[in-house]
A = this chain, B = another copy of it.
Amino acid sequence: MLDQNQVEQLQANLGYQFNDRSLLQLALTHRSVGTQNNQRLEFLGDAALGLIMADLLFINHPFASEGDMSKARASLVNRQALSALAKKLNINNLLVMALGERKNGGAERDSNLCDAVEAIFGAIYKDGGYEACYQCISRLLRKEMPTQSLDEIKDAKTRLQELMQQKGLALPVYEVENIIGEEHEQCFNVTCQTELSREISKGEGSSRRRAEQDAAAAMLTLISQQTSGEN
């Protein structure tokens, strides 16, 4: 069970008070716990986030093409961005999971954090309706919304490639580690190596392309952490 104070703090951070707190509890329950877990809410929250971000981009960028809006949304709501948001909301300390998963670093794993944030959005949608979910998401992600023209937004792989070229270094190397799952729900696991980091970054996604984007975003985070560490 969640600590009462923690629930209050999370609700304050979300700017949303749950009528039914069991939904919030469920959203924070990792699938390692059992069949009552956050995966169904995550499915719903992912879709809610998709529509709400689409609408915010539609409103704020009246002349952007659908292709640029789609790219902008992908750069705003990827695994990296959502797990960063999860950490800001302290979700890593609130996740309920089996001991084995926790010992394996599950509470800090991007995919678990990202699922939990999306499940919370799904829980708000169920608890308070679409409008409440809209308000919460736009409040939390307002600062991340692009202010420049959307056609200037570049995807993570492009940004990483340009960074390497700028520094006169070799291009990033992507490798598929493995592909798991049945055909209609495959998950690609990809690594990314660059001369700017000793660490290898990892990415996952439902296609090789998405997994590479994810790994590139993780590599950009690694590089920026190293750079800020040097300062």
Contacts and interface: CB of A to CB of B under 8 A. Distances in A.
Chain A residues touching B, majority SS: helix
Contact of A48 (B51, B64, B69, B157): B51
Nearest to A54: B47
B40 A71 contact: no
A71 B209 contact: no
Contact of A40 (B48, B58, B74, B126): B58
A155 B184 contact: yes
B58 A54 contact: no
Given A74-B184, A186-B209, 18 more contacts: A40-B58, A40-B64, A40-B65, A43-B54, A43-B66, A43-B70, A46-B54, A47-B50, A47-B53, A47-B54, A48-B51, A50-B51, A58-B126, A71-B185, A130-B130, A155-B184, A183-B209, A207-B207
Contacts of A39: 65-66
21 contacts: A43-B66, A43-B69, A44-B51, A44-B54, A46-B54, A47-B47, A47-B50, A47-B51, A48-B51, A50-B50, A51-B51, A55-B125, A58-B126, A67-B185, A74-B184, A130-B130, A155-B184, A157-B183, A157-B184, A184-B213, A206-B207
Interface string A175-204: 000000001111000000000000000000
Shortest 3 CB-CB contacts between residues of A and residues of B? A43-B66, A47-B54, A47-B51
A138 to B, nearest CB: 14
A42 interface: yes
Interface in A44-95: 44, 46-48, 50-51, 53-55, 58, 64-67, 69-71, 74
Interface residues on A, range: 35 or more
A66 B47 contact: no
Contacts of A51: 44, 47-48, 50-51
A76 to B, nearest CB: 13
A51 B125 CA distance: 10
Nearest to A50: B47
A59 B51 CA distance: 19
